Structure 1
Amino acid sequence: MTIEANFCSNCGHSIPSSSGFCPTCGSAQALSNPTPVPNSPIHTPLHPNVPYNENVYPGVINSTKLVFKDALKINKRMGRADYWWSSLGLCLFSIPFIFLFTQWIIRLSIRTDMTETQLGGSFITLLFLVFCWYLFLAVVNITAAIRRLHDAGLSGLYYFLTFVPFFGPLITIILYSQPSKQNGNRYM
């Protein structure tokens, strides 16, 4: 007995023809959903040697926008080029903030018209802003690393290798540099 299958109009996964909803993404389906054209880009077979990138033209600006857009998502993938370009973009994006925080500290330290209480409050405010900024960047970096590991076909738990002394960061850099795994990747 052969079960006819259609493809979801939202995510492209195969669904039974009698299903009213996609079991993968949950979007409603028309019961008479036709089978897609074989040459459509969503349904072409994946090739193991073709790298995956969400951006058609990965670069510093496009990839950094992507990493901020997906800052709280770990159930996606992030291609190798997008990951490394966004890492560079985050470093470049942080330079003006580091400069501004440094200037603020210098200006606060040379002020003579403020009492110690006012200076202490200003430093606490500055430290709180710096802490919030770096906490946000840490979340963005961690989620990007997990998505990069998913693209290589690895579990996001490999991120914890970063905390192994000496060799952990080196091992994770090697894992982040692995090519995209297209066929058999459970994190599609």
Structure 2
Amino acid sequence: MQAAISRVLSNYATFSGRAPRAEFWWWWLAVLILLTITSIIDGLIFGTGPESGQPISMLVSLGLIIPNIAVAARRMHDVGKSGWWLLLAFIPIIGALVLLYFYVQPSQEGDNAYGAPNPLT
């Protein structure tokens, strides 16, 4: 898990290359845990309810937008698709399901148009 997170953070805004399944999913688990923790902290500091807002969670989310998109684009490259396929996210429900299908696919073996496989070590 630590190797996946450090690899994503070291490639903060790198949209080229490939990201194996493990790197992608460990990263999303770490993001989910981090956002859950910041949401709890927001609730303790600012209270709950629609008027309280969640400033810490919002700042963390803003800081993670670029690496989230970058790792998703590299994951698409790993299955042989262009990062532009991420635009499917703007199609309600169907787009998310298609992207989920691509995310769970195994990596293409050997080199592809986006480079050599990048095993998670």
How does the TM-score come out when normalised to structure 1? 0.54
Distance 2:66 2:110 in 1: 29
Identity %: 27
Alpha carbons of 1:130 and 1:89: their partners in 2 closer, same or farther (altered >3 Å)? closer
Which structure has the larger Rg over C-alpha atoms?
A: 1
Alignment equivalent of 1:106, drawn from 34, 47, 51: 47
**Alignment correspondent of 1:79:** 20
Residues 79-133 of structure 1, C-alpha deviations (whole Å, 9 max, x = no match) = 01111111112211222212111111129x9xxxxxxxxxxxxx79x63x54332
Higher relative contact order (CA 8 A, sep 6+): 2
More helix by share: 2
Partner of 2:85: 158
**Residues 64 and 90 in structure 1, CA contact (< 8 A), matched pair in contact too:** no
Comparing 136-145 and 165-174, the one that deviates more: 136-145
Q: Is the 8 A contact 1:61 1:89 kept in 2?
A: no
Q: Give the partner amino acid of 1:91.
A: L
Tell me the distance in 1 between the aligned counterparts of 2:109 and 2:12: 23
Runs (5+) with no aligned partner, structure 2: 116-121
Determine if contact 1:80/1:179 at 8 Å carries over to the other structure: yes
Matched, 1:172 2:113: no
Q: Using the TM superposition, give the Cα deviation of residue 138 of structure 1 relative to its aligned residue in structure 2, in angstroms.
A: 2.1
For 2:60 and 2:41, the matched residues in 1 are separated by 12
**TM-score (normalised: structure 2):** 0.80
Amino acid in the other structure paired with 1:63:
A
Aligned residues: 113
State the distance in 2 between where 1:156 and 1:169 align. 14
8 Å CA contact 2:35, 2:60 repeated in 1: no
Query: Root-mean-square deviation (CA), in Å?
Result: 2.2
Deviations 1:34-88 (A, max 9, x none): xxxxxxxxxxxxxxxxxxxxxxxxxx22212222221211112100111111111
Given the alignment of the two structures, is residue 64 of structure 1 paired with residue 64 of structure 2, yes or no?
no
**CA shift for structure 1 position 184:** 5.3
Q: What is aligned with 1:54?
A: none
> Deviation digits for residues 147-188 of structure 1, max 9, x if unmatched?
100111110000011111121100000011111113451100
